[in-house]
Structure 1
Amino acid sequence: MESQIIRPGYLTAHQTARVLGIGLDAVRQLVRRGRLKRSGGSSRQPWYAADDVAALAAERQQADAA
């Protein structure tokens, strides 16, 4: 369902999963654990701030390098 139109600076759940290299279930777990916050969209098609996703990706990359 990536056909939805979102504002610049935001990512769909599918795009977020792709950037983080995880599945959609893992994205939902990050939200439940408070590590990622929904920034718009609907409950079925949430958006996430690209800056938040990039920060989380960098954090995960540093953890993998350590």
Structure 2
Amino acid sequence: MEYLSLPPGYLTTSLAAEAAGVAPATIRDWVRRGILTRCGGTPKRPIYRVAAVHAARHAAKPNRPGQRAA
């Protein structure tokens, strides 16, 4: 279930993924890796700032051992 209304400038995980052009799992991975931070919501329904999502989209991503090069 999604939020019925969000304050302007905030996105749910699925909306953040759509805005960044990635899958929702990628948004959750960015949070886990410290590239993107949640700014509110609940643990199961986090919300993110639009500016933070765009910054994470263009941020340099740290490589993990064994990760394929893009």
Same fold (TM over 0.5): yes
CA distance in 1, matches of 2:4, 2:42: 11
Larger radius of gyration: 2
Q: Which runs of 5+ in 1 are unaligned?
A: 61-66
Identity %: 37
C-alpha distance after superposition, 1:16-61 (max 9, x if no partner)? 010111111111110000000000111111000111112223x16x
Please give the root-mean-square deviation of Cα atoms over the aligned residues, in Å: 1.5
| Aligned residue number for residue 17 of structure 1 | 17
Q: Which runs of 5+ in 2 are unaligned?
A: 60-70
Runs of 4+ in 1 over 4 A off after TM superposition: none
| Higher helix proportion | 1
How high is the TM-score relative to the length of structure 2?
Answer: 0.72
How high is the TM-score relative to the length of structure 1?
Answer: 0.76
Aligned residues: 59
